[in-house]
Amino acid sequence: MTLKEIAKKLNLSIATVSKALNGSTDISEPTRKLVCDYAESVGYRSRKSMAWNGRVALLWAKEEQRDKYSAPSLVAASFLSMAQKERYVVVEDVLEKLLEEDEKFSLNEYLAHHHFCGAFLVGLNFFNPVYAQLKKTKYPLVLLDNYMLDNDLVSGVGCDNILSTEKAVDYLVSLGHKQIAFLGGERQSLVGAERLAGYILGLSKNGIEYRYDLTYFGDYTRQAGIDAADYFQSKDFTAIVCASDMMAMGLIDRLRYWGKKVPDDVSVIGFDDLEFLRYTNYDLTTMRQDFALIGEKAFRILESMIKGLPAQRANVGCTLIPRGSTIPLKQT
């Protein structure tokens, strides 16, 4: 699209559009924002922006995943910082909103219309309608905590969920625990499936039989932890591995409500090591993810595919951070 076409579309003069795109101070802020937002939406690049390497999309599955305290948001922030540092324009959007606006939404058409050269998709699970479109993508894509094996244009990045959850189980076993419950994430997500697999493998290699009744699935929220505590109230266990810090927080609050002491009665391990929880009274033992490194890898992989290299899957290891929510099992 040309400068003239933008001016005609917005019913403005070419001079006004030019000034807005070049940061002139003699036009109003609303007009400048109107012009710049529209130019960005159609992929227009002014002479001033020609030094940029291209446009990439940062696409969220759902709006609520953009909470600044969430693990996906921390990864996305790192991705955004790296992309901007390497002179890429990053545009964020929400797939849930796009699907509501157009039931026939096409990811390929969306990326083509907005002149993107690739995209980073956050929070996409197997049941999302867009996931089925990935097999036919014409653009390089990187998925956070997901992957697709049979397409050289789709990469995946995330933490090593299986090994990390195994480590959490190993640690509890080293403290003498054998009745270990599991609070997992969404069963339709790769993260949920892998962390469940890690839990089961951790039990098996330590000679502990897996019990389905000691497993509960949530959605990584604090409320899911509260609901899980209600479910586990009648169960016999001494420790629990949670698939997220947020769920662990809700679980601990509800266990305390039921008169259970953490860690005296139940040892609790979370997953993520969200920074704001470090300054609370939860004193949560957890598996620390390196969000900055995951976001950086997501960008580097996307950039390499934009330059013609094939897809890959990168997993980043987690670190066990022992704190006060876990203690050795008291012998009776």
On average, the pLDDT of the chain sits at 91
Q: What is the pLDDT of residues 235-253, one digit of tens each?
A: 999 999 999 999 999 999 9
Distance from the Cα of residue 330 to its chain's centroid: 37
What's at 303, amino acid-wise?
A: E
Domains of the chain listed by start with CATH number: 3-159+294-315 (3.40.50.2300), 161-289 (3.40.50.2300)
Q: What is the rounded distance in angstroms from the CA atom of residue 273 to the CA atom of residue 264?
A: 22
Confidence (pLDDT) at 30: 82
**In whole angstroms, how far apart are CA 295 and each of 1, 145, 156?**
32, 11, 11
Q: pLDDT per position in the chain (332 positions), as tens?
A: 677 888 888 888 888 887 777 656 567 878 877 887 787 777 666 655 444 678 899 999 999 888 888 899 999 999 999 998 998 989 999 999 999 999 899 999 999 998 899 999 999 988 899 999 999 999 999 999 998 878 899 999 999 999 999 999 999 999 999 999 999 998 888 899 999 999 999 999 999 999 999 999 998 999 999 999 999 999 999 999 999 999 999 999 999 999 999 999 999 999 999 988 888 899 999 999 999 999 999 999 999 999 999 999 999 999 999 999 999 998 76
